[in-house]
Amino acid sequence: MNISLKGKTALVGGSSKGIGEAIARQLAESGASVTLMARSEERMRTIVEEMDTSQGQEHQYLAVDFSDFDAFKAIISKFFKSNTIDILVNNTQGPEAGGALEKKVEDYQKAFDLLFKSVIFTTELALKHMQKNQWGRIINIASISVKEPLNYLALSNTIRAAVVTWAKSLAYDVAKDGITVNSTLTGYFDTDRIAQLNAKKAEKLGISPDEVRANMEKQVPMKRIGTPEEYGYLVAFLASEQAAFITGTNIPIDGGLLKSL
């Protein structure tokens, strides 16, 4: 099967590193013209220069801070005045770790703005072209914690669950327009985010980050954590014509870690 996204345009959030970067690079390798969207302008500039352009793609980047919704709203609104998107990958940095008893109402509001409001607003803008064109792909990067909550990620558990239920509702409404809406449930991947969470957990438990990582790998049936490149392959497939009949799904990518159905 040859996945071709030639002629398609994509917007990928959180794409200056980790999973977001890998997704952006894979979409570009598949032929799409990609707009990166994240905080680090310098890093995105480097990635854009490195990405595949062998099929005539034109890549660009958009510097945003997802944690400042009002500023984000202004920037993304301006972007869509002169750009259209066929493939939208909703992805942001995660909120701070911590258990339910550690978090206050204000923390949940910040996480809501970061993980939910930014996704809804961006999707609303992207949908106008998709519906007019009768083709579109919306892919939300979520977490396995929406199925099996992780007690040290109370904010992420809560708000990402809202995102995937919203996505299920949206998928029903836009299916008639040739638009698919799917969510990927992220397991353990070799990213800076995992390293930061492991460091915090190691400090709390009084062990080394290496021990935390080793214990994490033992939990995964495949006895390893995933690479960002492997994540990019899944998203490229979901963005393709071959995935036209797949919508409203929550797809775990976790090496078999989830125990629930």
Catalytic residue numbers, as ranges: 152
Q: Please name every residue paired with 10 in a beta bridge, in sequence order, or none if there are none.
A: 34, 87
Q: How far apart are CA 243 and CA 178, in angstroms?
A: 11
Name the amino acid, one letter, at 3. I
Rg (CA), the chain: 18
Q: How far apart are CA 95 and CA 107, in angstroms?
A: 9
**Which ranges constitute the DSSP H helices of 118-208?**
118-133, 154-174, 192-205
CA 111 from chain centre, in angstroms, equals 15
Beta strand extents in the chain (DSSP E only) = 9-13, 33-38, 60-63, 87-90, 136-143, 179-186, 250-253
Q: What are phi and psi of 92, to 5 degrees?
A: -135, 170
- Provide the 8-state DSSP code for 17: S
In the chain, how long is the greatest CA-to-CA distance?
Answer: 56
User: C-alpha angle with apex 88: 22 to 106, nearest 5 degrees?
Assistant: 90
